[in-house]
Chain A
Amino acid sequence: MSIERDHHGFDAPVPLGHPARASLPDGQPTGPEVGETLPDFELPDAHGNLVRYHESRGGAKSVVVFYRSAVW
């Protein structure tokens, strides 16, 4: 695969314009805003156990990271 540098100066092992390189467009909303409560959800962890987000925090502060993939 070709290595190409994008306009931010970043290199990635796929050509420019490839869907794997699709970044946030200008003005695109990015979900809940500061001041809003994060919507609750239930998802399985690495061992298949269901985790309910707000309950799992146990009243603590939290950091929720959305990541693209653990595979590629």
Chain B
Amino acid sequence: MTEFSAKQNIPFRLLSDLDSEVIRRYGILNDQVGREDAFLEGIPYPGVYVTDEEGVVIAKFFHDSYKERDSPEMLIDAALGRLLLSDDEPSASGGDEEVRISAVVHGGKGTIRQGIRRQLIVRFELGEGVHIYGEPVPEGMIPTSISVSAPPGLVLEDPIYPPTETLRIESMDMELPVWSGTVDIVLPFMAIGELASETRPLDMEHAEIEVGVRYQACDDNSCFPPKTEKLKLHVDLDVIDVPALSTHMGHGQREAEYNGMPHMFRLIRRKARKYPLGMLRLIFKTIRLEWAALRRLR
């Protein structure tokens, strides 16, 4: 772990749950993996807990796929209870005096990689007394909408809108959902294998994301013309190291600089004490699955 920490530049503390005792106590042991799976046995479902000063969980992050993880920035946001945007994140801006619009790729300092979730933040800064509309609004009015065009393999989730305020228009006996002040619309996204497979060299170095924003701003007396803005963002595809094991070599983007095999052998030996046939059974299982995969790929 000391070597791993140093090579990966990990600034936080790594702890070792050798016998998965804490993993079991927390109830997050991956029990689809058994002792017959040799060195794989004992792994948790990967996930993150964020706590307050009292140690009480205020947010947790677990996903359907073990490949899917949240950016560190999202964990910091969860701890702070607000979005903390930084100057080194790619951004583009537009709009006018009444409505300032910016789009930011939050997380990863302008990089993306397979499975790691980032956020596209569309921020409206509205002038004093100005509002824009949420949904639903009557026919003829323009609700705020975001459209994104991105390369294949960049998967966007549904936008997360902040809660709207209610604007009552007495003369028309109407209630409208509106936003005022600073409005952040959050679109989580990530790259999948089609764009940034971690098992082969990258096809491209960058990706362009185009954000389309449509809205109409009004104040208490009148409305400004509806507007459509296009903002362009640029992200780099991050090159990642393959695990430092000969078995992984040739299956990644960049080979790691150190040798993980001695650590692997130690792990295998330790698990073999629990179940001597484990490694043999895992090898047979892997060969059987390989054959099935080769049939599928043919």
Interchain nearest-CB distance for B83 vs A (Å)? 16
For the complex, give the distance between the alpha carbons of A44 and B14 in Å: 9
* B207 interface hit (Cβ, 8 Å): no
Q: Which residue of A lies closest to B25 (CB)?
A: A39
A contact patch SS: loop
Q: What residues of B have a CB within 8 angstroms of the CB of A15 in the complex?
A: 286, 289-290, 292-293
Q: Mark B279-298, 1 if CB is under 8 A from A, else 0.
A: 00010011001101110110
Which residue in B5, B25, B64, B264 is a CB contact (below 8 Å) of A41?
B25
**Inter-subunit contact B60/A45 (CB<8 Å):** no
**Inter-subunit contact A22/B48 (CB<8 Å):** no
B contact patch SS: mixed
Q: What residues of B have a CB within 8 angstroms of the CB of A8 in the complex?
A: 64-65, 67-68, 192
For the complex, give the distance between the alpha carbons of A9 and B25 in Å: 32
Within 8 A of A (CB), among B234-262: 242-243, 245, 247-248, 251-252, 260
Within 8 A of B (CB), among A20-72: 20-26, 28-41, 43-47, 51, 54, 56-57, 59-72
**Inter-subunit contact B60/A34 (CB<8 Å):** yes
**Inter-subunit contact A11/B289 (CB<8 Å):** no
Given known pairs A11-B114, A43-B16, A63-B49, the reply for A29 and B33 (CB within 8 Å) is no
Interface residues of B, count at CB 8 A: 84
Q: Which residue of A lies closest to B51 (CB)?
A: A62
**Inter-subunit contact B199/A11 (CB<8 Å):** yes
**Inter-subunit contact A30/B60 (CB<8 Å):** yes
Q: Which residue of A lies closest to B260 (CB)?
A: A71
Q: Which residue of B lies closest to A67 (CB)?
A: B46
Q: Mark B68-100, 1 if CB is under 8 A from A, else 0.
A: 100000011001000000000000000000000
Q: Which residue of A lies closest to B289 (CB)?
A: A15
Residue with the highest number of chain A CB atoms closer than 10 Å, among B39, B56, B193: B193
**Inter-subunit contact A2/B297 (CB<8 Å):** yes
Q: How large is the interface on A (under 10, 10 to 19, 20 to 34, 35 or more residues)?
A: 35 or more
Interchain nearest-CB distance for B163 vs A (Å)? 19
For the complex, give the distance between the alpha carbons of A27 and B135 in Å: 32
**Inter-subunit contact A23/B51 (CB<8 Å):** no
**Inter-subunit contact A2/B114 (CB<8 Å):** no
Q: Mark B115-150, 1 if CB is under 8 A from A, else 0.
A: 100000000000000000000000000000000000
Nearest 3 A/B pairs, CB to CB:
A9-B192, A15-B293, A46-B1
Which residues of chain B have a CB within 8 Å of any CB of chain A? Answer: 1-2, 4-5, 13-18, 21-23, 25-28, 30, 32-34, 37, 39-40, 43-60, 62-68, 75-76, 79, 114-115, 153, 155, 192-194, 197-200, 242-243, 245, 247-248, 251-252, 260, 263-264, 267, 282, 285-286, 289-290, 292-294, 296-297
Query: What are 13 A-B contacts with C-beta separation under 8 Å?
Result: A1-B290, A9-B194, A11-B198, A30-B47, A30-B62, A36-B56, A41-B22, A57-B51, A61-B79, A66-B45, A67-B44, A68-B46, A71-B243
In addition to A31-B60, A32-B26, A46-B5, 6 A-B residue pairs with Cβ atoms within 8 Å of each other are A2-B290, A37-B55, A61-B50, A61-B52, A69-B267, A71-B39
